[in-house]
Structure 1
Amino acid sequence: MMHQLYPQVFHDYCYELNKDMHIAAAHFIPHQLAGKCAHIHGHTYVVNITVAGDALDETGFLVNFQKLKQLVHGKLDHTLLNDHQDWFDSKNSEHFPTTEIVARKIYEVVQDYLDALPHKPKCLQVFVRETPTSYVVYRPKAGDR
């Protein structure tokens, strides 16, 4: 895997964890103004998830890397994103599988998992690179962290 540098989130937490993964998936944007993106096409997405916190769990982890991979890669890799109707929908543009919304949905799933942990780590950002020249960073507003 090529090492990449990602935009940093400045924070006061003691620990910061970053998990990289590649996701091979297809999608289409169900809107007439989406141009070529309205047709099914695929990407090898590069995803980076940043998690931070002040306390570790009973195993000495902030978060288990494998669990993050299971939540995201295990769900999306080698699929048609539009088929994940629990994440995306073709009627509401707030839920189309654009890169922006893919990043937001990954954040929501990861943060829901983190909220259930007793030591309460926080997902600070999700980076999703769709092509070598295009990427999105999703960060929750400071008050939501």
Structure 2
Amino acid sequence: MIQQIYPCVPHHYRYELNKDFQFAAAHYIPDEAAGKCARLHGHTYFANVTVGGDQLDETGFLVNFSEIKKLIHDRFDHTSLNEHTDLFHERSAESYPTTENVARIMAELVQQYLDNKGNGAECLQIFLRETPTSYVVYRPKAGRA
């Protein structure tokens, strides 16, 4: 994986966890205004998930790195994002699988998992690179997805 420097998220937590991974996925944006992106095409996405918190769990983890990877990589790798109709649909632009929306959905999935852990950890940032020259940074408002 390419070693990258990600934008820092100001926070007050004692621990900050960052997990990098990549996944290959196809998508299309269901709007003719999207130009070429309205046709099915694929990317090798590079993602960084940033989690913050003060309390470690019973195993000494803020969150296990492998759990973060499972939430995103195992769900999206080698799929068509448009086929994840529980997350993306064609009814509104807020639900198209654009890089912006994929990053937001990733943050929501991570936060749902963290909320169930009960140690107060928060998803602080998703950095999602779609191509070598294009990426999105998503930060939940007020520390929430």
- What is the TM-score with the length of structure 2 in the denominator? 0.97
Matched, 1:127 2:127: yes
Contact 2:123–2:143 (CA under 8 A) maintained in structure 1: no
Is 1:40 the counterpart of 2:40? The answer is yes
* Distance in 2, Cα, partners of 1:21 & 1:63: 16
Which residue pairs with 2:109 in the alignment? 109
Residue number in structure 1 paired with 2:93: 93
CA distance in 1, matches of 2:91, 2:135: 24
What is the RMSD computed on CA atoms of the aligned residues?
A: 1.0
Give the partner amino acid of 2:33. L
Q: How far apart are 1:32 and its partner, in Å?
A: 1.1
Asked if 1:83 corresponds to 2:68, the answer is no
The percent identity for this pair of structures is 61
Amino acid of the structure 1 residue aligned with 2:52: A
Instruction: Indicate the residue corresponding to 1:65 in structure 2.
Output: 65
Amino acid at match of 2:126: V
Divergent runs of 4+, >6 A: none
Against the structure 1 CA distance between its residues 22 and 100, is the aligned structure 2 distance closer, same or farther, given a 3 Å change threshold?
A: same
Deviation (angstroms), 1:144: 3.5
d(CA) in 2 for partners of 1:14, 1:7? 18
Equivalent pair of 2:111/2:144 in contact (CA under 8 Å): no
**Residue 114 of structure 1: CA displacement?**
0.4
What is the aligned partner in structure 2 of residue 3 from structure 1?
Answer: 3
- Structure 1 residue identity aligned to 2:85: Q
How far apart in 2 are the matches of 1:101 and 1:68? 18
TM-score for both structures, normalised by structure 1? 0.97
| Separation (CA, whole Å) in 1 of partners of 2:27 and 2:143 | 32
- Structure 2 CA distance for aligned equivalents of residues 64 and 47 of structure 1: 17
Report Cα offsets for 1:85-141 as digits up to 9, x if no partner: 011001211100000000000000000010111212000000100011110011011
Aligned to 2:53: 53
In structure 1, list runs of 5 or more residues that go unmatched.
Answer: none
SS of 1:87's partner is coil
Q: Number of aligned pairs?
A: 145
